[in-house]
Amino acid sequence: MIQLPSIWPIALAAVVSAAGGATLAYAWEHRARQAEVAGIRADIAKREAAAAEASRRRIEAASRAADASIAEKDRRMLALDATNRRLRHDLQSATTGRPCLSADARGLLQQSPAFRIGLSAPTGSALAATAAPAADSLYPLSQARWGEGRGEGAGNDTTDTDIAGWILDAASLYEQCRARIDAIRQWDDEVSRGR
């Protein structure tokens, strides 16, 4: 009989070849996956860098908008202060100092909730330098200012000069508030760009 070659060496060679092929295929696949992961990481890094740059630009734009709106508000406040100084000086010659609001009427007006909000006197106004307010008032612009009575025989009555000063102070507070709100609006318009 003819002796057939043993199948074990062929089987062993087949197993070794299959194992080598699988190892090479795995190494090839692993290398491909590593390249893919590296590409994904590079893409993520690019996106993060772009997001950081966009964020930096938005912050710079917001800072520039804030600087511009604050500068505009300050310009308006300086112009308002100059106008108020001129008007306060002109009011001294335009008013007579005669009584026009009695102490009783002033006391009734001071019971209004508006006098209890605790506003401070506008900078540079005559109210900023007045004495402490009367003990019965919760509003700092009260009797210490309105009871000065610069007119003849005025007593505790409020004069037309006092009323004119109060009107100027109220208008000044309004303009200061409006300038601040406009500055906020200007900043928001710059930052949000209509969003």
Q: What is the pLDDT of residues 47-59, one digit of tens each?
A: 999 999 999 999 9
User: In this predicted structure, what is the pLDDT of residue 185?
Assistant: 92
pLDDT (tens digit per residue) in 4-13: 667 777 777 8
How would you classify residue 18: left for phi > 0, otherwise alpha for psi between -120 and 50, otherwise beta? alpha
In a domain, 69, yes or no: yes
Confidence of residue 78 (pLDDT cuts 50, 70, 90): very high
Give the tens place of pLDDT for each residue, 98-157: 888 888 888 887 777 766 666 555 554 444 444 334 333 333 344 444 444 444 444 578
Residue 92 within a domain: yes
Residue 2: inside a domain: no
Tell whether the model's pLDDT for residue 31 goes beyond 60. yes
Query: How far is 77 from 83, CA to CA, in rounded Å?
Result: 10
SS (H, E, C) the chain: CCCCCCHHHHHHHHHHHHHHHHHHHHHHHHHHHHHHHHHHHHHHHHHHHHHHHHHHHHHHHHHHHHHHHHHHHHHHHHHHHHHHHHHHHHHHHHCCCCEEECHHHHHHHCCCHHHHCCCCCCCCCHHHHCCCCCCCCCCCCCHHHHCCCCCCCCCCCEEHHHHHHHHHHHHHHHHHHHHHHHHHHHHHHHHHCCC
pLDDT at 72: 94
Q: Which residues lie closer than 8 Å to 142 by C-beta, 6 or more apart? A: 110, 115, 133, 134
pLDDT of residue 177: 94
Across residues 187-194, what is the average pLDDT?
83
Checking if the pLDDT of 183 tops 60, the result is yes
**Domain annotation covers residue 1:** no
Q: What is the pLDDT of residue 119?
A: 55
Q: Is residue 168 assigned to a domain?
A: yes
pLDDT in tens, 154-178: 457 888 888 998 899 999 999 999 9
How many domains does the structure of the chain reveal?
1
Averaged pLDDT of the chain:
79
* Domain extent for 123: 8-192
pLDDT (average), residues 17-34: 87
- What pLDDT score does 133 carry? 40
Query: Is residue 140, in this structure, part of any structural domain at all?
Result: yes
Amino acid at 135: A
Residue 180 lies in a domain: yes
Domain membership flag for residue 3: no
Is the whole model's pTM more than 0.85, yes or no?
no
